[in-house]
Amino acid sequence: MHKKTSSRWGAITALLVGLAFPVALTVFQGAVAIGQYQEPVPLKPPFVFHEADPAIGASSFTPLPPTASRLLTETFGVGFDVSFGVVGTTTKWYIFTDTNSVNFYWNRVSPSVSGAYVDTAWVACGTCDGTPGTSLDPDTDDYPANMGTWMIYGPVNLGDYYDAELTFNYRLDADPAVDGSGSGDLFAFGVSDDGTHFTGELHSGSSSFTEWMTPTFKLTDYAGKSSVYLGFYFHSNGDANTGKGVLIDNVSLRAAPYSRSYLPHVARDFAVATPTPTVTPTPTPAPYLYNYTWSVGGENDPDFVAWGQSYTKVEGGTTTYEQGLTGGNPGAGMYLYNTRLFLVTMAGPNVSVSGNYEISAQFNVYKSKDNARYGIIFGADTNAFSRSGSEPRFNANANYYAFALQFPSPPNGNRPADFQLELCNTGDGTNCNKLVDRTPIPSGANADGVWDTLKVRRQGNQITIFVNNVQLATVSDGTLTGTREFGVYIRSANVNGTGTPLEVDWDNYTVTQLP
């Protein structure tokens, strides 16, 4: 963090004393002094990567407040804006290849190349449009030897922010350095404030390429700086040991802004009465009745045990649905996944709540599907969720309320377009009564599918629904009352299958008892 300097504050003191007319001074929270505007720093290759010590991808740290601003959401759809080269200081994505690198590099995977990995960034794309000699296919090809490719976003102005964090999804399949020399193939993420040196985390080897990892990087040390670059780097050595490489999706940068207050200046010859400060007590929030964060991780995580742990349903040799652990916000979270048309998949902790309560849950969309939906189950029968030993069970044809967000057709990245509230009491979980029919999400809710928040509040017969703390609708319905269960669900629609599954990740599921 930058420190306030005596010369700066001396100048401000003189200004306060000497001005003879009313003006306004902006005062920022925290101890970081806000510098004057500076011209953006350009990118200056060759780029250098350094591992951070300690790592910026810490496993646990305080998340940003809900008021944090989202400065970047990149899902690598048709609007992916990229520059091949690093000339200029316009904020966008830049692709750069190292000297003597082969002519394959980061780029968006288009539908003409891959159905399974469409709308992701792949390290060895080249053009990624099917052009012979300049385009590879992540469905069938490995990355080549002798690669050195950067994908960089920026410059980002964090001058008005006191904290920031970045999350993204990635899959990694690279040849490790078997002798521990660091000479194998590697993937790195780093941050730079000088356009040349990137500091961050390095990965050599493989995760499960069938599973998306979701790291969160704390960028506190870069808050308050006017030119920050985010860099993804991949390097392969000269041997023939290669793999699929790296796929990236859902890059999200959020930053917490300084709060501002304005102090009036007065002429030097006037005495200013000092008012007696009054302090408004902060109300004590109601304690959570249930708080599921999956923060420990692993099959024996208490929250994961409560929700039934990992489970895979296989029918006719094909996986139809799964639940399991994935990256959270931060730490770990839980995912739901299905592959069949018009299939309702549910998960819940098999506990209940009664009276007045509020349920809140955060979600992160893996991939959208035409007209698919996902959301919160509440007011459910006590047989809606159950266990057979450690195996989780659910009854999609039980009675419950389903608050859902829904994708358009065709999908727009991973962004939901509409919301609805259904009363499912017909005995058919795919044919429920609509209390709130499909309605567009207002723009102020800023739902983009990357760790947004769904919320349901039940007070008597009144049900109020929210997205990102924006109230969407209030209805009155007393059909399902008393002691009832809750959970989450996803429902596929007309475009789904083993090659195009529907998956949504969940974290920070809380239930608060209201008076």
Q: What is the pLDDT of residue 427?
A: 86
Q: Is the pLDDT of residue 370 over 80?
A: no
Indicate whether 43 pLDDT > 90: yes
pTM: 0.50
Residue 9 backbone phi and psi in degrees, to 5: -75, -25
Q: Above 70 in pLDDT, residue 95?
A: yes
Which pLDDT belongs to residue 511?
A: 94
Whether the per-residue pLDDT at 5 is higher than 50: the answer is no
- Residue-wise pLDDT tens digits, 391-449: 788 888 899 999 999 888 777 777 899 999 999 998 887 788 999 999 999 988 888 88
Three-state DSSP class for residue 490? strand
The confidence score (pLDDT) of residue 133 equals 82
pLDDT digit string (tens) for 193-211?
999 999 998 876 665 577 7
The larger pLDDT score, comparing residue 322 to residue 495, is at 322
Q: How far is CA 489 from CA 23, 225, 320, 395, 505, in A?
A: 54, 41, 14, 11, 11
> Mean pLDDT, to the nearest integer, of 299-315?
88
| pLDDT bucket at 357, cuts 50 / 70 / 90 | very high
Nearest C-alpha neighbor of 30 from the set 214, 261, 212: 261
3-state DSSP of 205-243: CECCCCCCECCEEECHHHCCCCCEEEEEEEECCCCCCCC
CA distances from 314 to 320, 339, 373 (A): 6, 10, 22
pLDDT digits (tens, 9 = 90+) for 142-169: 999 999 999 999 999 999 899 999 988 8
